[in-house]
Structure 1
Amino acid sequence: MTRIYMNRWFSTAYHYINMIRDNPDGESFEFYGTHPNPQHMSLMASDHAETEPDLTGRAYAEFCAEFCKRHEIDLFIPRLHMEEIARHASLFDAIGTKLLVCRDLDLLDAMVEKDKFYEMLQGRDLVTIPDYEVVTTAEAFKSAYEKLTARGHKVCFKPTKSEGGMGFRIINDEIDPLEELYGYVTLSTTFERAHEAFSAVERFEDIMVMELLEGTEYSIDCLATAEGELITAVPRRKSEGRIYLLEENQELLELSRRIANTLRIPYAFNIQVRYNHGVPKLLEINPRMSGGLYITCLSSVNLPYLAVRAALGMPITPPEPKFGITASYIEQAVQINQD
């Protein structure tokens, strides 16, 4: 019985645990989870769950290492503070716990902070980078906005260090205030509103002001060996609403191979791109299982389980994904108390 620990994860970890447990090889796993919220969905599929303390830095890594030692964990799959886990990997090596994490600290730190990552990729001919500037003052924000619009771009902005859509806004000066009140909540704001908000402080945390990519968006879920050799990649095209298409896009499969061959990101990672004027441009690369990976697994490839096999040093037969699959998802009620 292999014991796996997952610290504070997204709620979709519920799916990943069940996919790993329901593997085609009949391998047995026991799952341990921690989260500040003892009723979080990421814990509902675990066999054992504990409340996670509010710690950062080495103190957090030490908590995780102590947890792994106490429960004799074979494999730790971190999400929260994965940089700190990788930075203090020796704590886990000393107790025999394997880590499903990128150990290249320079690469990992860069992927977490988007501006550093864009700088790292400049001139490497791997993927096209959107036009952007990083700003920390309202004056610099105004200047970046004017430069980008002068180049013919629509503009958006996002914190350099964030996950998913947190902090993402599109600048749209044609917003009708009344329609906005009556309509759905949107990600749009006007330049005036954004500039006014940024002007309220002397300096703010790094914001990336960049060209708005208006074409089709893809999330490419990738699987690699511990050495970063690409095993498989599945492009997932975002359509209207909750509709996705698992698409055999040769341009994006080749892009994935270039990135994997150069950066050598191990295990499971996710490349997000969006087209603009026919060119796929990089949004970000996440060095972990993506939030929508359970949709990609409809390709008949159990990516979470194969990532576990890779981390444990077990052999993997390269899978053949099924493409041309249209998919969506629905909410499902799950009872979380046993009374």
Structure 2
Amino acid sequence: MRLPDVRGARPARVLVTGAGGPAAVAFMEAVDDGETELWAVDIDPHAAGLYLVDAAHRGLVPRGDDPDLVPVLVDLCSRLGVDVLVPTVDTELLPVVDASSRFAAVGTAVLASSRRSLATCLDKWALHQACVGAVPVPETHLLDTDLDGAALAWPRIVKPRSGSGSRGVELLAGPDDLVGRPRDGSLILQEVLPGTELSLDVLARADGHVVTVVPRTRLKVDSGIAVAGCTVADPALDALGRAVAARVGITSVANVQVKQAADGGHRLLEVNPRLPGSMPLTVASGVDMPTLALADVLGHPVADHVGFTPRAMVRSWRQTFLPVEEYEATGAVPVPEVAS
């Protein structure tokens, strides 16, 4: 899908962060139509996605939790005339969205949901509280000093309230396994769901209308990323994805993760309020969410509904080859100075 021109005669100029991650790579590959002008940044000169764009269109920036990140990105967007900034790293989302007015002042739109939506989704306890009673959720408890572990049924899953990629997620056999764990409210305990885990890729327009939900199985997972799976047509999963999106206010692309309970129904695990790393499968199934989301943030019409055809995917390694001098030059790109 080719995007209409913006700012006069030239194509859309898009800056993607977190170029080393699968979400950024998936986005760039989807919108790389030979017309959209792509720029990519990362904290690491080895980031694979940097080498999907022209040498003059790549650079290094501070980490997502560095207070200099937003000023550097605002400066880059201003100097380059960036039309859309696409943050793909969890730690960048809130700082970037909080600075939306600063980006707007230099003519740059941010492809992301609202702050309220992001804050809810990035905190698994806040997400549970927002959705309990409205959508099916697993039994969940906050691990604090008030929790009586002996009163719970075991085993249980323990996970951080914030974080991604299954980091810090463990199966606990009984209350003795809670000994030594912080009871400061930074962890949650959830019932064990024995069934299949699925991801629901959701696209909602800026007006909140959900355009489509594409469920996909996670048949094989490596470091939190599905490397084999297939998209499935299921009205119940479609309805669940739409209900979650409405509840938390998704207005862009998000990934809703669910798992099957013992009764056969699906329960909400978490919502990743950004582009998912396995987006290529959704695109191959007929829903080019990156391009549609980009069109929406640029103010172009996006259909009320986009259907898909179930497809299967197995991922493999791929390589990018380039001159040594070009590779070395990328590592030498300095972080732009922040104007005082």
The answer to whether TM tops 0.5 is: yes
1:283 aligns with 2:283: no
Where relative contact order (Cα < 8 A, 6+ residues apart) is larger, the structure is: 2
| Number of the residue aligned with 2:334 | none
Whichever residue aligns with residue 45 of structure 2, its letter is P
What is the Cα deviation at residue 148 of structure 1? 2.8
Identity %: 24
Relative distance call for 1:296 and 1:10 in structure 2 (3 A) is farther
Q: How does 1:76-115 map to 2 (within 5 A)?
A: 76-80=85-89, 81-103=92-114, 105-115=115-125
CA deviations on 1:182-217 (whole Å, 9 max, x unpaired) are xxxxxxxxx65x44552xxx7666111111111111
| Counterpart residue identity of residue 170, structure 1 | L
Which of the residues 248, 273, 279 maps onto 1:293? 279
Structure 1 alignment gaps of length 5 or more: 174-190
TM-score (normalizing by structure 2): 0.82
- For 1:229, which of 194, 205, 209 is the aligned residue? 209
What's 1:122 paired with? 132
Cα distance change of structure 1 residues 240 and 161 upon mapping to structure 2, 3 Å threshold: closer
Ranges in structure 2 where 5+ consecutive residues have no aligned partner: 1-10, 222-226, 326-340
1:135 aligns to what? 143
Tell me if the contact between 1:229 and 1:260 (Cα under 8 Å) persists in the aligned partners: no
Supply the distance in 1 between the matched residues of 2:64 and 2:124 (Cα, whole angstroms): 24
Return the letter of the residue paired with 2:309: K
Give distance in 2, aligned partners of 1:285 and 1:167: 17
Distance (whole Å) between structure 2 residues aligned to residue 232 and residue 280 of structure 1:
19
Structure 2 residue 331 is the aligned partner of structure 1 residue 321: no
Counterpart-to-counterpart distance in 2, 1:235 and 1:54: 32
Structure 2: distance between partners of 1:38 and 1:97: 25
Contact 1:10–1:291, Cα closer than 8 Å, also in 2: no
The 8 Å contact of residues 128 and 140 in structure 2, kept in 1 or not, is answered as no
Alignment of 1:6-17 (within 5 A): 6-9=16-19, 11-12=21-22, 13-17=24-28
Q: 2 CA distance for matches of 1:312 and 1:46? A: 21
In the alignment, structure 1 residue 67 sits paired with structure 2 residue 84: no
Aligned position for 1:271: 256
Match of 1:183 in 2: none
* Distance in 1 (alpha carbons) for counterparts of 2:67 and 2:320: 35
Please give the residue correspondences for 1:132-211 in structure 2 after superposition, counting only pairs within 5 Å. 132-136=140-144, 140=147, 143-144=148-149, 146-149=150-153, 153-172=154-173, 194-198=177-181, 206-211=186-191
- Contact 1:159/1:205 (8 A) holds in 2: no
For 2:41, give the aligned amino acid: T
* TM-fit CA distance, 1:257: 2.2
Whole-angstrom distance in 2 between the partners of 1:41 and 1:240 = 22
Q: Once superposed, what is the RMSD of the aligned Cα atoms? A: 2.3
Match of 1:304 among 258, 275, 290: 290
Distance 2:308 2:213 in 1: 8
1:243 is paired with a residue whose SS is: strand
Structure-2 separation of matches of 1:274 and 1:17: 29
| Separation in 2, partners of 1:57, 1:35 | 13
TM-score for the superposition, normalised by structure 1? 0.82
Displacement of 1:9 in angstroms is 4.7
Conserved? CA contact 1:295–1:328, under 8 Å: no
